[in-house]
Amino acid sequence: MFQLGIAETARQLAARAFSAVELTQHFLDRIRRHNARLNAIITLDEARSLAAARTADEHIARGKAGSLTGIPILHKDIFCANGWRTACGSRMLENFVAPYDAHVVSRLEAAGTVILGKTNMDEFAMGSSNETSWFGPVRNPWRTSAVPGGSSGGSAAAVAARLALAATGTDTGGSIRQPAALSGVCGLKPTYGVASRYGMIAFASSLDQAGPIATSAQDLALMLNAMAGFDARDSTSLERAAEDYARDLERPLRGLRIGLPKEFFSDAVQPEVAAAVEAAIGEYRRLGATSVEVSLPNMHLSIPVYYVLAPAEASSNLARYDGVRYGYRADAFDDLVDMYERTRAEGFGAEVKRRIMIGTYVLSHGYYDAYYLKAQKIRRLIATDFARAFEQCDVIMGPTSPTTAFELGSRTSDPVQMYLSDIYTIAVNLAGLPGLSIPAGFDAAGLPVGLQSIGNYFAEARLLNVAHQYQRATDWHRRVPADFAG
């Protein structure tokens, strides 16, 4: 059952080949057997999962099933889910049980999905390797000594190991697409505002966006159909007519114009990654697409811009964790100020503290204009570069990450080297555009390579069509890590 995609699983459920309870139990058994090697899932509640599956079976029996009814999924632990622990990878929230559902969670539950559990993540989504979590690092199922990518590494690793049919993630600077690439699965970051941020614990509010992780573009489309939608509780949520993101999956690619930014194909890219991406572009040409060189001249500034803006927003968002209202509180302190200081010193990890300090600095008197305001101006230039590129092409393609998965611990002492893992993803968040990563091959060590596609605003259906047609012609997305194939 774990080899089936969402669409085929839904057909099998409708045909009564197996029940939602049997399907859920199958995945719970796989989690019990395999998760200890990965540390991808940190919270389970088997009784609740099976109860939800029984409800799904009742809907199926009454003929009221939808495309996601009875489908077992995982949620990144950044999403509040009523009655579930929501720790956000941090000691600060280690024992916090959410009293309400995030909008994305409630929409997926309304669509009939079954929550299997919550996935591990970089603390407060700050990281590119899933090594900053209070609950320990996640391991890559293709090689357990390597990272799965981050911050949605738990979701990506779990889907890659087929511990669930799909999972939710969040993408602030590449945190869906980069782990999808390093773990050999598919991940979609929608246009900013398409999926509500309500109930999603904030890191950088102008950049954070929820999206799905799955094994195919078709499954991403089915997940996004449920996740997307206006939410009046989120001031950045976009009020748009509902659309079917699977509507164009079978559309031929003849006439598709692929933009290849010269900035994406530099000496910084691992040769095997470059070769796999070039082979994928060749496959697209065989499918009827053409390619044109485009330029994103300000893309090299995306990392410094991001590491001014994101920490600035984080320093504000994380001010609420003070030990007074909820979350961790230091055991011993002398007075109120000492309690604040000890709580935050003990409750936050090193990477979170680093970003809070950077953010507080760039927002401080005398530095706001020099750093924060200038970064916002460059952010606009980056968005303008994309607008000009899309005058020449329909979709932009290149590597998702400059390398395949690196070894655990190999970059933890060098934050700048770690930040460079997101060099091809961050600009998409700064511009608010949709981006998608799909598997496109392997390096000599057997580690996955990700192909990134970037679309214009609200071009999710087109991106999914482009990915689906490639996946009809290739089988990279069907590969399962050998140790988790049984």
Q: Which active-site residues does the annotation give?
A: 76, 151, 175
Return the number of other C-beta atoms located less than 10 Å from residue 297's C-beta.
Answer: 13
Q: Which amino acid is at 444?
A: A
Return the number of other C-beta atoms located less than 10 Å from residue 258's C-beta.
Answer: 21
**Cα(13)–Cα(65) distance, rounded to whole angstroms?**
9
Bridge-based pairing state of the strands 41-44 and 114-119: antiparallel
- For residues 215 and 5, the answer to whether their CB atoms sit within 8 Å is yes
Return the number of other C-beta atoms located less than 10 Å from residue 442's C-beta.
Answer: 17
Which are the contacts of 288, defined by CB distance < 8 A and separation ≥ 6? 252, 253, 254, 255, 256
- For residues 382 and 427, the answer to whether their CB atoms sit within 8 Å is yes
Token couple for 259: 């933009």
Count H helices, E strands: the chain? 15, 11
**Cα(328)–Cα(357) distance, rounded to whole angstroms?**
20
361: number of CA atoms within 13 Å, CB side?
10
Distances in whole angstroms, Cα of residue 460 to Cα of each of 73, 204, 238, 357, 381: 21, 22, 15, 36, 23
Backbone angles phi, psi at 303, to 5 degrees: -70, -50
Q: Find, among 187, 245, 257, 177, the residue nearest to 215 by Cα.
A: 187
List beta partners, residue 210.
170
Distances in whole angstroms, Cα of residue 400 to Cα of each of 100, 135, 172, 284, 365: 34, 27, 14, 17, 37
Backbone angles phi, psi at 395, to 5 degrees: -145, 145
Q: Find, among 143, 145, 2, 113, the residue nearest to 48 by Cα.
A: 113
Helical packing angle, 217-227 and 6-14, nearest 10°: 80
Eight-state DSSP code of residue 132: -
Which are the contacts of 106, defined by CB distance < 8 A and separation ≥ 6? none
**Cα(174)–Cα(169) distance, rounded to whole angstroms?**
11
**Cα(425)–Cα(280) distance, rounded to whole angstroms?**
18
